[in-house]
Amino acid sequence: MIISENSHENTEKSANHWLFWAVFAAFSAFVFANSLVLMLNGLLNKYEVDIPVYLKTALGTSTPPFFMVAAVTGVAYLAGKRRAFAGVCRLRNWKFYYIPEGAGLQLVFFIPLTLISLTMMQIVSKLKQLYPGLVNILLKSSNAVQHFALNSDWPSFACFAFAAVVIAPIGEEIIFRGVLFSFFRRHAGNTWATVCSAFIFAGCHLNFVQFIPLFMLGVIFQQLYIRHKSIYPAMIYHSINNSVAVAVLFALKLGFKIT
């Protein structure tokens, strides 16, 4: 009995140890990737190197999630925790009904989340009268994606759309719903782990206006992960949600170009 308890305790410590380094690797990769993008863009501008804008777009939108997943995967292989990585990400449980479920959830939550976003915009507009400097900085960050989409060329928009619809849902769900949630759950349980992972997920988007809707989406994604014991439902809903946003930007871009 003593041997069994010691073995279980060692297993828990090993799992915590692996998840700690996985989380550390993910956020180190996030910082490194964003710094790398800024540095390369700075060098390109400094030396006036002319490369297609869509290559810059692909670099900027794809690098952070790719590096984060690559870093966590590397830690898993170096630590010999490949099965643990697959278990944390729950990559084996796939059902076709996840697709219509994701579409249904998008229909259910689209209007409420949109109303929250509009309310946040009204609040920000009122705050702008009191704190114009701070609010302008927050709005510049929040509107960066929309500004880029409306002013980029079509190859760049295509790269952005692919990153938003395919790369981000896969990479972000593995990191936030899989690794980060599992790490927090070992220390605080499902509820607080969900809150923490959703909060960090929303914060990493650097979008003040969309923070509450993103936080709520993070909670919904996490509940799908918990309920189905699979990461695929969250990936699908995430991809559908981003697809709708890209479609709206596409429509605005057409109107923007025409006018």
pLDDT for residue 4: 46
Question: Could you tell me which residues come within 8 angstroms of residue 158 by beta carbon, excluding any fewer than 6 positions away?
Answer: 54
Q: Residue 8 — very low, low, confident or very high, per pLDDT cuts 50/70/90?
A: very low
Residue 259 has pLDDT above 60, yes or no: no
pLDDT for residue 9: 40
Q: How confident is the model over 163-188, as a mean pLDDT?
A: 94
Ordered DSSP codes for 153-218 = -HHHHHHHHHIIIIIHHHHHIIIIIIIIHHHHHHHHHHHHHHHHHHHHHHHHTT-STTHHHHHHHH
Please give the tally of structural domains in the chain: 1
pLDDT for residue 37: 87
Residue 10 has pLDDT above 80, yes or no: no
Neighbours of 35 (CB within 10 A): 10
pLDDT in tens, 54-107: 888 888 888 899 999 999 999 999 988 888 888 888 887 889 999 999 999 999
pLDDT in tens, 236-247: 999 999 999 999
Q: How confident is the model over 196-214, as a mean pLDDT?
A: 92
pLDDT for residue 58: 85
Lowest-pLDDT range of 11-15, 72-76, 163-167: 11-15
| Better-predicted residue by pLDDT, 134 or 181 | 181
Helix then strand count (H, E) for the chain reads 11, 0
Q: Residue 170 — very low, low, confident or very high, per pLDDT cuts 50/70/90?
A: very high
pLDDT for residue 109: 96
Share in percent of the chain as helix, strand, coil (round to 5): 90, 0, 10
| Mean pLDDT score across all residues of the chain | 87
| Better-predicted residue by pLDDT, 76 or 46 | 76
Q: How confident is the model over 175-184, as a mean pLDDT?
A: 94
Q: Residue 135 — very low, low, confident or very high, per pLDDT cuts 50/70/90?
A: confident
The percentage of the chain sitting over the pLDDT mark of 70, rounded to a whole number, equals 92
User: The domain containing residue 128 runs over which residues?
Assistant: 2-258
The pTM of the full predicted model, rounded to 2 decimals, is 0.88
